[in-house]
Structure formats: structure tokens, C-alpha cells
């Protein structure tokens, strides 16, 4: 499923929030070698392999004698590969013990929500909120105030599972390519079965690596699935998704860059902590050439999910690079006069949240469709739409049902007639992730104004040690977080004119907040402010 590649490699291929990744667990003297092997796989993100080992160990103990930390790790394994029911089972069992981590309530609620059990999920979020008061649970609880409206959605939409494309495995990321559809799959289609090393499996899920495939689009159905390109699919690890230039002679392809794998005899995948990067392929005649790496690929971060604006002068992509608002943000680069790409810039807090945003797709009108876990929604990743460009966007609109479900919904593309494709691992599908076709009239955008003119702000923070700074736009009800660590004490950002803000700083056991605004501020000036948390003034 998509979770085991892009939403993992790009969005989740980072240390888990809680301390399970920091230290190796101790489960007594029994089966030390098996425990060590399971922990090693877990720390290397081989979740499917680790889950099988943890299950084997835990079955030997009565429920009341099982290690809470091991159950949490097993639940985390299943969560990371979208096995919602199994993950919920083990989080529920772990929470029967008094030493369970507080985050287990949050993750348990997430799993229940992804299963469509909204009422039970809400109870877990409430339990979490009694122990942790933060924006994560506030956002998750917000949807329940109007759940019926979210589920009713658009009654005139016809969403159809494309059974002729989907397999019993993971198929997603469909995009138009002339009279064909290119998509991502781990089901080894066409001649991939005959290519050397294609049968190698990914330790995270024990499935083949994702590759790009192409299928002819007929008037009524789809034809035979073929390998898209031997040149592009030549990478030994995951390939996809892809976007194309209008002339179809340039392809921006997301690929996995393998990291340094830790030695483990029982695992031959060679994958360690790896990231995503963009490769740009050019076509000459009918043949794709050796790719050119995107200039802003980095060993320190992932870069992927690229998509071009209609005029092809802006390239949007998802990345966990430094300077973002959340874990994964949507960024953009502008094409320069010499045809190179300018430095990456963040799309801003209207789009990005302290959690994850990914899979940006810009339609023919310039509207941005993307998936988010940070904006209120029905499931894990919900589809949203916003209008604007670059870092100047309207408040995102949740597309509701049937575009969104309790599961993960992502990579939505459509044409001027409102026909298109989206990917989802919702219930009732044929495989892990499936491609769905939809047809509906144009979706009207509500009359939400674009942000006002922007004012540069330089904010100097004066607090001891590390401080978490949260800046909230009260006018538009959005906010973003910054973690300030020594020796840095300065934040540079863009504010909106005629807007009320609240700044909150958390450090140690102390919390300070203050109000300020940008009314009557000249937009041509840079606003300088300093925040002395202990003195509580600006």
C-alpha cells in the first residue's frame, strides 16, 4: 500500500515521536535473540518483518504478563503499514496497562477513525486530551461537530473502482499520459516478472518494490498493462509517482534513495534509513535518457511528489526539509530565465500545518489539490482544494465524501470536464491502495478571500534553553509551530496585513502568550519584534 512507500519514505521515514526508537527494549531473559532481531528490524523500518516476530514472542505470554513496550511496538508496526484493525487491537491491549504511553490514546483513536468507528475514536481522543492538551487532538475532535455533513458530501458524484487496473496489491497515482494512464504498482505487471531482481521484496511490507506502469485508455475500458520504461524503472528500489510536461517529453519522477543499512543477516533488502529524491528524465525520440537529479535533492531530507503548474513555471513538491511548518510540507520552486529552478520556498501556513501535507496536484485552473493530516478531516489523509499560487492561498476546503473516507485518500487529478482519478485504501477496494475514477460537474470554491498583503517579520526570542513557539493567525484560524534551539534565537516569517495574532512560547514547565497585530503597518516595511518570555512583553 502507499503507506509503505511514499507516506512512509517521505512522510514517515523519520523517528517515531515516542521514545520507542531511542532505546532497545528489555523483555527479560527469554528469547533474547528473537527480541533483538525484532527490535533491529523495527529500528530499520522493516515493520512487516518485525510485526511477525513480535507476534511470535507475545503469543507465548498471557495478556497480563505481556510487555507493554513490545505491544506498543507491534501496534506501531501495523500502524505504519496501514493494518488498522491489528494496530487498534494492540493499542487497545497496551492501554489496559497503567504504564502505557499517553500517545497510545491518540494513535488508538487514529486507527479507530481509519476503520470508520468515529464514536469510539472520539472517546480515545478525549482520553488523550485529559493528559495532553495540544492542537493535534483539538483538530481531530473538530470534525465531530458536523460529522453528518462531512459524510453526506456530494451526492451527485459517481466514484468507481477501476477493476481493470487495480490488483490485489497496491495501485495508485494514476495520471493522464496522452491516450494512456501511467500509475504506480507493486504487483509486478507486464514484463517486470522477467526482469532480474524484480522479485526482491521490501522489508517494510514484504512486497515487491513499486514501479511505473502504463495502460491504454479505451473508449469504454482499459487495455493491457505494460512496463512504462525500462530506463526509468531501472532503479533497484521504489519508483513513482510521476508528472509530465505538456509535451510529454519531460518526466519528474520520485525515486527512493537507499540509505546505509545496518547489518542484519536475515534481511537482504539492503534498505536502511532512506529518503526520496526527484529525477528529471528527458525524452529523445521514443527513448528516455539518463536522468538529471533535481538540484535541490539532499541527503538530509526527502523531496518528491512533484507537479507542474499549468504554465509550467512553478514546480510544487512535498518535502521534510528544514525551515518548514510541519513534518512534511508542500514547497515550490519558480522557473528562472535560464530554465533552471529557483530556491525552494514553503507554500505557507494556509496550506501547511504542524502535521503532514503531501501529494500536491495543480489542475488546469491553477487550483491546488493535496492531501493533509493536519487540517480537520474524516480519515488519515484527506483531500483538500485551495486556490491561489506559490505561498498565497485561500483557506483549504475539505472535499468530503465520497472523495474522502475514513481511510487515506490522495493523489487526485482531473480534467476540465470534472472527470479524473484519485487513490485510496478505503474499505471495499480490490487491494491495498486502489485507483478510483470519478465524474462530476465542476466543484465550486466558496467565496473565501485570499490572504491579504504580506508583511515581513523578524522575531527575536529571549528564553532560556529550547523553546517551542506557536504563532496563531486569529483572523483566519490557522497557525504554525517553530522549535527554537540554542544558539538560534531568531525567526523570519511573512505575516498578513490587518490581522490579529497570538504568540505562544512553551519551555520547560512554563507557558507564555501575548497578542499583537499588523493593523496600520506599512507593508513595505519589515516588522521587528522581540519576545521576552519571562517578562511576558513584546
Task: Compute and round to an integer the Cα radius of gyration of the chain.
Answer: 23
Is the pLDDT reported for residue 285 higher than 60? yes
- The answer to whether 122 and 141 are in contact (CB under 8 A) is yes
Return d(Cα 89, Cα 112) in angstroms, integer. 10
Judge whether residue 289 has pLDDT over 80: yes
pLDDT (0 to 100) of residue 354: 83
Q: Which distant-in-sequence residues (6+ apart) come within 8 Å of 134 by Cβ?
A: none
- pLDDT at residue 22, rounded to an integer: 36
Is 156 in a helix, a strand, or coil? Answer: coil
Q: What is the pTM (predicted TM-score) of this model?
A: 0.75
**Per-residue pLDDT at 162 exceeds 50:** yes
For 357-370, how does the pLDDT look when each residue is reduced to its tens digit (9 = 90+)?
999 999 988 899 99
DSSP collapsed to 3 states, 218-268: CCCCEEEEEECCCCHHHCCCCEEEEEECCCCCEEEEEEEECCCCCCCCCCC
Q: Cα–chain-centroid distance for residue 451?
A: 25
Q: Could you identify the residue written with the cell 506498543? A: 72
DSSP secondary structure of 421-448? EEEE--TT-SSSBEEEEEE-S--PPP-P
Nearest CA to 391 out of 314, 458, 322 is that of: 314
- pLDDT value of residue 9: 45
The pLDDT of 387-392, averaged and rounded, is 89
Picking from 67, 76, 59, 68, the residue whose alpha carbon sits closest to that of residue 21 is 76
Question: CA-CA distance, 327 to 318, in Å (whole number)?
Answer: 10
> pLDDT tens digit string along 424-438?
999 888 888 999 999
Distance between CA atoms of 259 and 21, rounded to whole angstroms? Answer: 17
Rounded-to-integer distance, Cα 121 and Cα 141, Å: 9
Q: Which residue reads 493530516 in cell numbers?
A: 373
Pairing of strands 368-372, 382-386: antiparallel
- Specify whether the CB–CB gap between 358 and 7 falls below 8 A: yes
Q: Are 208 and 199 in contact (CB under 8 A)?
A: yes
pLDDT tens-digit profile of 33-76? 889 999 988 988 888 889 999 999 999 888 888 999 999 999 99
Q: Considering only CA atoms, which of 431, 439, 438, 386 is closest in space to residue 407? A: 431
* Between 308 and 33, residue with greater pLDDT: 308
Mean pLDDT, range 128-157, rounded to an integer: 70
Residue 80 has pLDDT above 70, yes or no: yes
Give the list of residues 6+ apart from residue 346 with CB closer than 8 angstroms, or none.
323, 324, 325, 329, 330, 331, 352, 391
Contact status, residue 462 vs residue 531, Cβ threshold 8 Å:
yes
∠228-232-237 over CA atoms, to 5°?
Answer: 105
Residue 234 has pLDDT above 60, yes or no: yes
Tell me what pLDDT residue 130 has: 74
User: What whole-number distance in Å separates Cα of residue 255 and Cα of residue 242?
Assistant: 9
Check pLDDT > 90 for residue 190.
no
352 near 325, Cβ under 8 Å? yes
Q: Pick 35 or 158 by higher pLDDT.
A: 35
Mean pLDDT in residue range 23-28: 45
Give per-residue pLDDT as tens, 491-524: 676 777 778 888 777 665 666 777 888 887 776 6
Sign of CA dihedral 310, 313, 319, 325: negative
Give the Cα-Cα-Cα angle 508, 514, 520 (nearest 5 degrees).
150
d(CA 420, CA 363): 11
Amino acid at each position: 500500500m502507499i503507506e509503505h512507500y511514499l507516506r512512509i519514505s517521505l512522510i514517515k521515514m523519520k523517528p517515531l515521536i515516542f521514545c520507542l526508537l531511542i532505546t532497545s527494549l528489555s523483555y527479560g531473559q527469554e528469547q533474547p535473540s528473537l527480541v533483538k532481531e525484532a527490535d533491529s528490524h523495527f529500528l530499520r523500518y522493516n515493520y512487516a518483518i518485525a510485526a511477525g516476530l513480535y507476534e511470535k514472542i507475545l503469543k507465548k505470554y498471557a495478556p497480563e504478563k505481556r510487555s507493554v513496550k513490545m505491544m506498543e511496538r507491534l501496534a506501531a508496526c501495523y500502524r505504519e503499514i496501514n493494518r488498522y484493525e491489528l494496530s487498534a487491537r494492540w493499542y487497545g491491549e497496551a492501554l489496559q496497562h497503567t504504564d502505557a504511553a499517553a500517545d497510545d490514546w491518540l494513535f488508538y483513536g487514529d486507527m479507530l477513525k481509519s476503520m470508520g468507528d468515529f464514536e469510539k475514536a472520539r472517546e480515545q481522543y478525549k482520553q488523550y486530551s485529559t493528559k495532553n492538551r495540544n492542537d493535534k487532538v483539538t483538530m481531530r475532535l473538530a470534525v465531530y461537530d458536523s460529522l453528518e455533513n462531512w459524510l453526506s458530501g456530494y451526492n451527485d458524484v459517481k466514484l468507481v473502482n477501476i477493476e481493470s487496473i487495480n490488483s490485489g496489491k497496491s495501485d495508485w497515482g494514476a495520471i493522464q499520459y496522452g491516450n494512456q494512464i501511467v500509475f504506480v504498482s507493486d504487483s509486478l505487471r507486464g514484463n517486470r516478472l522477467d526482469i532480474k531482481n524484480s522479485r526482491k521484496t521490501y522489508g517494510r511490507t514484504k512486497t515487491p518494490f513499486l514501479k511505473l506502469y502504463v495502460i491504454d485508455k479505451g473508449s469504454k475500458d482499459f487495455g493491457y498493462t505494460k512496463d512504462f520504461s525500462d530506463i526509468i524503472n531501472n532503479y533497484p528500489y521504489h519508483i513513482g509517482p510521476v508528472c509530465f510536461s505538456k509535451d510529454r517529453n519531460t518526466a519528474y519522477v520520485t525515486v527512493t534513495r537507499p540509505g546505509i543499512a545496518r547489518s542484519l543477516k536475515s534481511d537482504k533488502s539492503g534498505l536502511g534509513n532512506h529518503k526520496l529524491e526527484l529525477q528529471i528524465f528527458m525524452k529523445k525520440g521514443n527513448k528516455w535518457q539518463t536522468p538529471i537529479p533535481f538540484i535541490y535533492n539532499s541527503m538530509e531530507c526527502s523531496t518528491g511528489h512533484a507537479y507542474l503548474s499549468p504554465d509550467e513555471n512553478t514546480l510544487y513538491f512535498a518535502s521534510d526539509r528544514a525551515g518548514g511548518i510541519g513534518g512534511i510540507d508542500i514547497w515550490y520552486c519558480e522557473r528562472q530565465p535560464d530554465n533552471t529552478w529557483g530556491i525552494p520556498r514553503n507554500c505557507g501556513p494556509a496550506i501547511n500545518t504542524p502535521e503532514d501535507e503531501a501529494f500536491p496536484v495543480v489542475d488546469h485552473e491553477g487550483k491546488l489539490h493535496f492531501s493533509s493530516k493536519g487540517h480537520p478531516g474524516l480519515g488519515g489523509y484527506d483531500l483538500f482544494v485551495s486556490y491561489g499560487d506559490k505561498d498565497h492561498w485561500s483557506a483549504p476546503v475539505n472535499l468530503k465524501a465520497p472523495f474522502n473516507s475514513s481511510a487515506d485518500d490522495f493523489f487526485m487529478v482531473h480534467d476540465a470536464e470534472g472527470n479524473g482519478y484519485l487513490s485510496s485504501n478505503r474499505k471495499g477496494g480490490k487491494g491495498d491502495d486502489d485507483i478510483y475514477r470519478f465524474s462530476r460537474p465542476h466543484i465550486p470554491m466558496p467565496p473565501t478571500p485570499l490572504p491579504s498583503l504580506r508583511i515581513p517579520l523578524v522575531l527575536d526570542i529571549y528564553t532560556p534553553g529550547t523553546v517551542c513557539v506557536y504563532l496563531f493567525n486569529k483572523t483566519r484560524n490557522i497557525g504554525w509551530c517553530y522549535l527554537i534551539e540554542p544558539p538560534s534565537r531568531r525567526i523570519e516569517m511573512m505575516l498578513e496585513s490587518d490581522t490579529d495574532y497570538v504568540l505562544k512560547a512553551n519551555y520547560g514547565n512554563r507557558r507564555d502568550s501575548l497578542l499583537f497585530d499588523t493593523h496600520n503597518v506599512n507593508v513595505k516595511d519589515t516588522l521587528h519584534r522581540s519576545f521576552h518570555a519571562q517578562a511576558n512583553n513584546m
